[in-house]
Amino acid sequence: MRILILGGDGYLGWPTAMHLSQRGHEVAVVDNMARRGYDNELGAESLVPIASLQERVAIWEAITGHRIQSFFGDICDYTFFEPVVKNFRPEAIVHYGEQRAAPYSMIDRRHAVYTQVNNVVGNLNVLYAMADHVPDCHLVKLGTMGEYGTPNIDIEEGYITITHKGRTDTLPYPKQPGSFYHLSKVHDSHNIMFCCRIWGLRATDLNQGVVYGVDTDEIKLDERLRTRFDYDGVFGTVLNRFLVQAVAGIPLTVYGKGGQTRGFLDIRDTLACVDLAIQNPAAAGEFRVFNQFTEQFSVLDLAKAVQEAGRELGMNVELNHMPNPRVEKEDHYYNAANTRLLDLGLQPHYLSETLLESVIGVVQQHRGNIKQHLIMPSVNWRETGSTAVQEEAAPAAD
């Protein structure tokens, strides 16, 4: 198949490009390097050094003989993006090409506006390009479990059947997002659903949990093919932050009591889920939703898992409970359905089996790159601005 990957330079985009290329697909990636620009803005960088996209593409072709095409530009710029779709004519589009950090969207007004304009407008351009040039193309869109929030009922996969005043209907599951970033994903979902209904497009929304891991089969071919590893207080995931703190001898920063519970999955399972969605496309006019995670953990669960793994390696890992900079429930019910990808054949990797030994080893290898001042949270949900980035410093151009 011809597959176009948006955000192909990113943490998930690059491994996905290699994964699909290795399986014989004709792969092209689109990226405007905005993610690297955010690092420049924040004074941060990946713990694991990453080569440029051009270098990684060249290394991949030299090792495997498979070519990955690259298009450098902004999907918010339709004069750039429309010809890419028109000429490449993808049969599937994998859409990672958005600003993906909740803290970044909550820095101040400027970052909130940027996040929503970048994400919503870019996604709309994708939908229009599909409708005008490749109406049978299948959109595989990266959503987030954060769209749902933490309701006091089970979270279904995209839809819920309700009975109200004697009448029954199946409706989109109610959304309670927790940041301007998560709100942008909700807007995306509504726009995709609308375009499937009116234009007959086909789309799969992958509401993904928090991804962890650094190794895939393709990355293991050569260290120069590595993807990024974020641990800072803006783009770093909670698990990455804990692992870096454990190696650096810093107490793990548990927000509040640590009862916040979310879904998690191994990066290899992300690639498998995208592959399964592409192999089993949505029908014309169908907007389907898969909840993409394999396990559920609280923040405190993760901290204790890292603490125990550290002890086994001779580390003295301490926990430090601190005020939560986010506005979120700490004690809440959380039970989300995730059966649709399992039904398609997903074979999950579990945290207890693979993560701690492999990822801690990579963190130890690059411990000299740790910038301790970047780890602590610098964005507060309760404030309209932050000292993390001064108001006069505009977000990286996109």
Tokens of 120: 């919503």
Q: What backbone torsions phi and psi does residue 291 show, to the nearest 5 degrees?
A: -85, 115
Residue 390 placed within a domain: no
Catalytic residue among 148, 181, 212, 255: 181
The torsion of the CA quartet 48, 54, 60, 63, rounded to 10 degrees, works out to -100
Tokens of 390: 């001064």
Which residues, including other chains, have CB under 8 Å from residue 86's CB and lie 6 or more apart? Answer: 129, 133
Note if 185 is an active site residue.
yes
Among residues 230, 211, 192, which one has the least CA distance to residue 145? Answer: 211
**pLDDT (0 to 100) of residue 386:** 52
Identify the helix (H) or strand (E) that includes residue 393: none
Among residues 66, 77, 72, which one has the least CA distance to residue 8? Answer: 72
C-alpha 37/C-alpha 43 separation (Å) is 10
Residue 223 placed within a domain: yes
Task: Give the chain's domain count.
Answer: 1
DSSP symbol at 224: G
Tokens of 26: 């004709």
Domain containing 257 — which CATH number?
A: 3.40.50.720
Among residues 5, 128, 11, which one has the least CA distance to residue 70? Answer: 5
- The beta-carbon contacts of 367-371 under 8 Å, at least 24 apart in sequence, are 367/247, 367/248, 369/45, 369/47, 369/48, 369/49, 370/47, 370/231, 370/244, 370/247, 370/248, 371/44, 371/45, 371/232
Catalytic residue among 38, 173, 185, 227: 185
Residue 386 placed within a domain: no
User: Kind of pairing, strands 159-164 and 167-172?
Assistant: antiparallel
* 165 contacts 347 by C-beta, under 8 angstroms: no
* 373 contacts 233 by C-beta, under 8 angstroms: no
Among residues 93, 97, 73, which one has the least CA distance to residue 2? Answer: 93
Residue 392 placed within a domain: no
CA atoms within 13 A on the CB side of 142: 25
Note if 86 is an active site residue.
no
Residue 104: count other Cβ atoms within 10 Å of its Cβ: 24
Residue 90 placed within a domain: yes
C-alpha 251/C-alpha 175 separation (Å) is 34
**Alpha carbon separation from 159 to 179, 260, 357 (Å, rounded):** 22, 23, 38
* 77 contacts 397 by C-beta, under 8 angstroms: no
Which residues, including other chains, have CB under 8 Å from residue 204's CB and lie 6 or more apart? Answer: 138, 139, 140, 141, 277, 281, 282, 288, 289, 290
C-alpha 60/C-alpha 77 separation (Å) is 28
Beta strands, E only, 221-298 = 252-255, 261-266, 287-292, 295-298
Tens digit of each residue's pLDDT (9 = 90 or more) over 70-91: 999 999 999 999 999 999 999 9
Residue 82 placed within a domain: yes
The ranges of the chain with pLDDT < 50 are 388-398
DSSP assignment of 80-129, as one string?
HHHHHHHHH--SEEEE--S---HHHHTS-HHHHHHHHHHHHHHHHHHHHH
Tokens of 40: 């420049």
Residue 383 placed within a domain: no
Note if 64 is an active site residue.
no
Catalytic residue among 16, 115, 144, 253: 144
**pLDDT (0 to 100) of residue 393:** 41
Q: Is 151 left (phi over 0), alpha (psi -120 to 50) or beta?
A: beta
Residue 19 placed within a domain: yes
Residue 45: count other Cβ atoms within 10 Å of its Cβ: 18
300, burial (CB in 10 Å: exposed 0-12, middle 13-18, buried 19+): buried
**pLDDT (0 to 100) of residue 371:** 97
256-270 exposure pattern, b = at least 16 Cβ within 10 A, e = fewer: bebbbbbbbbbbbbb
Percent of the chain with pLDDT over 70: 96
**Alpha carbon separation from 210 to 24, 167, 191, 290 (Å, rounded):** 28, 37, 24, 15
Q: Which range of residues forms the domain containing residue 249?
A: 2-374
